Structure 1
Amino acid sequence: MKLNQKIVREITPLTESDFFTLFSRKKTEFDFPLHFHEEYELNLILNAKGARRIIGDHVETIDDSELVFIGPNLYHAWFTHQCISEEIQEVTIQFNNEILNTQFLSKNQSSYLRKLFEDSKKGILFPLETITDMQNLILTLKDSHGFTSVLNFMQILHLLSLSPYKTLCNEGFHEASLNANSRRIKLVFDYMNKNFRNDISLQDISSLVNMHEVSLSRFIKKRTGKSFVDCLNEIRIGQVSRLIIDTTQSISEIAYSCGFNNISYFNRVFKKKKGCTPKEFRENFTGVRLYI
């Protein structure tokens, strides 16, 4: 699938007077272009098996139903692709961070919501069990009014924050640092995000956080489930993906500029992370350029 279109900055209809806006549609195809906006967005999509989803640098063909939470300014869209459904159902809820601001999310009781919102910067995909549990709440939200609708909306966010989920984008694509209750792990990821273009060794970071290399390696693995090298590669691949989409630089130039000094190694890492070669990834976005 090649996308011969621009990435559009969407101006949503959300106003300062709204807690959220909700759109419920039934259609036979997806026709909105790859886009981004400042608002958070929760999307429930039903009867769309074979459609193609793009969230940031993540591309995937979807099943019958899915539930996705997207953070601010993250590229996203669904495309008809191989979907032949006669009635796709889509519920889109948009809201900004004013209703759940930093002061609110910093409270101890908001810790799960805080993590949900931080992870949404990379796009969140919820499992089928969550969709089954949440589908009716989301579908009937449009029928509630006044402050009752706000309470129902907050219940949805609360339940989603307790659900298992997976993030979609590579760490570096949205320039997000890991949100964890650890000053050391934050220092590690801040350093890697700022210095990914350079050679970075475990020794460099161990001196930064005052830990022995072996201890730091175990610490990163315990906190993230990934090795130090995997974490660094994820940040670099995220940056590579953005440049492949947004620039006309050659892939080798991009790889070197993002800290990969061996093209063969880069190609192996990229294919393992993205499931396709860098060239195939670029072909998916042929003709796509940022439009503001």
Structure 2
Amino acid sequence: MKPVFAKVLEGFETNIFVTREINRPFFSTEFHFHKECQFTYIVKSEGRRMIGDSLDTFTSDELTFIGSDLPHVWHNDSQDLNINHAASSMALYFEPDKLISTLSLFFNTSKLEQFFAQSQRGLIFHGKLKNDLKSILQKMISSEGIPKTILLLELFQKMLNSQEYSFLSSPGYTNTYIAKDNEKIDKIFRHVFDNFSKEINLEEVSKIANMTKHAFCRYFKTRTQKTFIQFVNEVRISQACKLINEDKNQIGNIAYDCGFNSLSNFNKIFKTTKGITPSEYKNELLK
């Protein structure tokens, strides 16, 4: 999946920040990145998201913060595409350099700059901080002028005075995508998202990408910083975690529903990916 460079504030060059509210049948953006930082609150939807090299499922009531030039996408499952208004979200975008330049006229912005640097791994909020930021973002959507700017500063104050967030991408992650990337990776990602429950062989995806198997493996690893097999397994494990969270079916059934051909292989890959076994994961949820 190629990350397309996007100009979020195009047409709003004089604005330091903008808010947007989205209500669509499904999220339709490509894997992309932009200079602007982005808060995203998922009001209603579920599926899979990629932020940097992080791949996981997402559900309603999720709040994330994406740093500058960090590739990302939210992808709805194919079976959800016929549901009207299945994808609803609120977002805040701001140009970090322009914001820092403006705020530095009033106070020391070093702490804020440090946070923005950390956000280049992507953040997901939880606990009281998530609820506080969500409430502020909701108010910003319906505000204008000075009240909206005051809410922006309040949001930053809350964010800087709490550590109720987790990093998404791995330490040291960098955006390795280049402008000449075409749609090869985009097609492969969507093919895996829609077919992870079936057998996906390397020859099949290489043909979709119109490449030899060897060339495709090298291309995929260079762009995503992981092997194709590792990516497929991460998609399957993320779905397994979703099903375990929903308490659907026995673990053995979940393994086969997610595309694994044996329970032992599922247990092994689950532990490698999550650090614990599926049973231990389920027990942690029950505590």
Asked whether the 8 Å contact 2:100–2:109 carries over to 1, the reply is no
Structure 1's 167 and 248: CA in aligned 2 closer, same or farther, altered over 3 A?
A: same
Structure 1 letter corresponding to 2:8? T
Structure 2 letter corresponding to 1:117? F
Counterpart among 11, 25, 41 of residue 7 in structure 2: 11
Deviates more, 1:164-173 or 1:95-104: 95-104
Q: 2:244 matched to which residue of 1?
A: none
Structure 1's 31 and 17: CA in aligned 2 closer, same or farther, altered over 3 A?
A: same
Q: 1:93 matched to which residue of 2?
A: 92
User: Aligned-pair distance for 1:56?
Assistant: 0.5
Residue ranges of structure 1 left out of the alignment (5+ in a row): 176-246, 259-269, 271-276, 286-292
Structure 1 letter corresponding to 2:40? N
Q: 1:155 matched to which residue of 2?
A: 154
Give the Cα–Cα distance (whole angstroms) in 2 for the partners of residues 103 and 171 of structure 1. 30
SS of 2:130's equivalent in the other structure is: helix
TM (norm. structure 2) is 0.56
TM (norm. structure 1) is 0.55
User: Aligned-pair distance for 1:150?
Assistant: 1.3
Indicate yes or no: 2:35 matched with 1:38: yes
Indicate yes or no: 2:121 matched with 1:122: yes
**Alignment coverage as a number of residue pairs:** 189
Deviates more, 1:131-140 or 1:24-33: 131-140
User: Aligned-pair distance for 1:169?
Assistant: 0.9
Q: 2:229 matched to which residue of 1?
A: 279
Give the Cα–Cα distance (whole angstroms) in 1 for the partners of residues 216 and 127 of structure 2. 38
Structure 1's 83 and 38: CA in aligned 2 closer, same or farther, altered over 3 A?
A: farther
Structure 2 letter corresponding to 1:51? G
Q: 2:174 matched to which residue of 1?
A: 174
Asked whether the 8 Å contact 2:132–2:158 carries over to 1, the reply is no
Q: Give RMSD over aligned pairs.
A: 3.4
Asked whether the 8 Å contact 2:121–2:168 carries over to 1, the reply is yes
Give the Cα–Cα distance (whole angstroms) in 2 for the partners of residues 94 and 103 of structure 1. 16
Q: 2:165 matched to which residue of 1?
A: 165
Give the Cα–Cα distance (whole angstroms) in 2 for the partners of residues 104 and 133 of structure 1. 22
Structure 1's 16 and 121: CA in aligned 2 closer, same or farther, altered over 3 A?
A: same
Structure 1's 154 and 99: CA in aligned 2 closer, same or farther, altered over 3 A?
A: farther
SS of 1:119's equivalent in the other structure is: helix
SS of 2:146's equivalent in the other structure is: helix
Asked whether the 8 Å contact 1:122–1:170 carries over to 2, the reply is yes
Give the Cα–Cα distance (whole angstroms) in 1 for the partners of residues 142 and 172 of structure 2. 39
Asked whether the 8 Å contact 1:141–1:149 carries over to 2, the reply is yes
Structure 2 letter corresponding to 1:150? T
- CA offsets 1:18-56 (integer angstroms, 9 cap, x no match): 0211111122311111100111111111222x3111001
Asked whether the 8 Å contact 1:19–1:150 carries over to 2, the reply is no
Asked whether the 8 Å contact 2:17–2:93 carries over to 1, the reply is yes
